[in-house]
Amino acid sequence: MSTFQAPKGTYDLIPPESAKYLAVREAIAAPLRNSGYGYIETPGFENVELFARGVGESTDIVTKEMYAFETKGGSKLALRPEGTASVLRAALEANLHKLGNLPVKLWYSGSYYRYERPQKGRYRHFSQVGAEAIGAEDPALDAELIILADQAYRSLGLRNFRIILNSLGDKECRPVYREALQNFLRGLDLDEETLRRADINPLRVLDDKRPDIQKQLTDAPLLRDYLCDACKAYHEEVRELITAAGVVFEDDPKLVRGLDYYTRTTFEFVHDGLGSQSAVGGGGRYDGLSEMIGGPALPSVGWALGVDRTVLALEAEGVELELPASTSVFAVPLSEEARRVLFTKVTELRKLGIAADFSYGSKGLKGAMKNANRSGARYTVIAGERDLAEGVVQLKDMESGDQTAVGVNEIVAELESKLG
């Protein structure tokens, strides 16, 4: 064992388990690529201010969970705790919103970092796939993203997840609700830090998971009772569009997301098989974020789905993903001449797109066949001196155990037709 181990709260993705993660990323990305979303990649760290302004000074993410550091040059940077602020920053910097075709639709995949108490489903480094639609205020866009996430989960075979939906209002109606909520919270028995949070962003208090706080919030005023007519109509249209698409959701008037930038539509994907870390993904509309980080007014909507949490949800439902075999053909040479011949054949097979591997190192037949078995290959090609003298190789079907001699020059075509 090495002297070093992965840092606390992180994990390594190792085959064969890593194949599941790749399949989940691919399944989430597929409907996005099919719907006009282009791929974007941003740095793993950004200016601290980007997150402080965008995610919110009062959020746990910024106050407690962000990995912030100062560079040798004196710049204050932070490892990215989430994806939206970075993607919007990159889109603004590249002037994508000025190219004429709004919304700018982008998807991304990567690792994010938060300093939290590690537990199953909550790590200090985690993987997400996200999507953002920047520069258009349209209920159909909110509906599209919810439908695409639902489609991605269903394509993986997940069934026991729920979509929870709410509206957080806009700059017209949110301040009125904020004041009503603050007045309510001031009358409760809250600790100093929670009272301070109620002053900065009272909606965050609604998200407090402590039972003694939740008990006191039973009669808290609900945002939906304060929505202006425009927000009500907008939310109603989102609900109608996703219902028409056959997507089932639940209204939750108490749903707030842990980031300050959300407005209007907000949603969460929840899986009941995951215990306390039940949210597998979520998102919403963030119409003011662009201005918060110094850009023009660009109403936008997006989501991020946790790859780690989705894998846990699949395990909780007992869903086995159908993963393609990483190797279809395994070559076992039993002489120096056979090594040269079979290595050439393996290279030819790979050029044809057939997954092929080779018995490296000088193993005997027994050891090499063990490796062939472990590789999961459907066929093994074996050749020794006598085979090559006769101009053949032995082709073994690993499922049936049948073995036949095939001409050296015919083996590639034979395997191509069998694996077609």
Render pLDDT for 44-85 as a digit per residue (tens, 0 to 9): 999 999 988 877 766 667 777 889 999 999 999 999 999 999
Q: Can you give the pLDDT at residue 45?
A: 95
pLDDT tens profile 79-99? 999 999 999 999 999 999 999
pLDDT of 41 reads 97
- pLDDT score at 258: 58
Q: Give the C-alpha separation, 277 to 235, whole Å.
A: 27
Check: CB of residue 247 under 8 Å from CB of residue 150.
Answer: yes
In CATH terms, 17-173+227-316 corresponds, of 3.20.20.100, 3.30.930.10, 1.20.120.640, 1.10.10.10, to 3.30.930.10
Instruction: State how far the Cα of 408 lies from the Cα of 410, in Å rounded to an integer.
Output: 6
Question: Who's near 382: CB < 8 A, 6+ residues apart?
Answer: 332, 334, 365, 393, 394, 396
Write the CB contacts of 193 (distance below 8 Å, at least 6 apart in sequence). none
Dihedral of the alpha carbons of 403, 407, 410, 411, in degrees to the nearest 10:
40
pLDDT tens column, 89-137: 999 999 999 998 899 999 999 999 998 887 776 889 999 999 999 999 9
Q: What does pTM read for this prediction?
A: 0.89
Take residue 132 and report the two structure tokens written for it. 């953002």
Cα(145)–Cα(132) distance, integer angstroms: 9
Q: List the domain boundaries for the chain.
A: 17-173+227-316, 329-419
Take residue 238 and report the two structure tokens written for it.
């989102």
pLDDT at position 277 is 65
What is the total residue count of the chain?
A: 420
CATH number listed for the domain at residues 329-419:
3.40.50.800
60-69 burial, b for 16+ CB within 10 Å, e for fewer?
A: bbbeebbeee
Q: Are 88 and 293 in contact (CB under 8 A)?
A: yes
* Pairing status of strand 379-383 against strand 329-333: parallel
From residue 292, how far is each of 66, 96, 289 by CA, in Å?
Answer: 19, 18, 5
Write out the DSSP string of 90-138.
HHHHTTGGGSS-SSEEEEEEEEEE-----BTTB-SEEEEEEEEEES---
Q: Which of 410, 256, 362 lies closest to 371, judged by CA? A: 362
Q: Which residues of the chain have pLDDT under 70?
A: 1, 57-60, 121, 257-260, 276-277
> Among residues 94, 2, 101, 117, which one has the least CA distance to residue 42?
94
What integer pLDDT is reported at residue 86 of this predicted model?
96
Q: Alpha carbon of 95 to those of 37, 90, 102: distances in Å? A: 17, 8, 12
**pLDDT for position 58:** 60
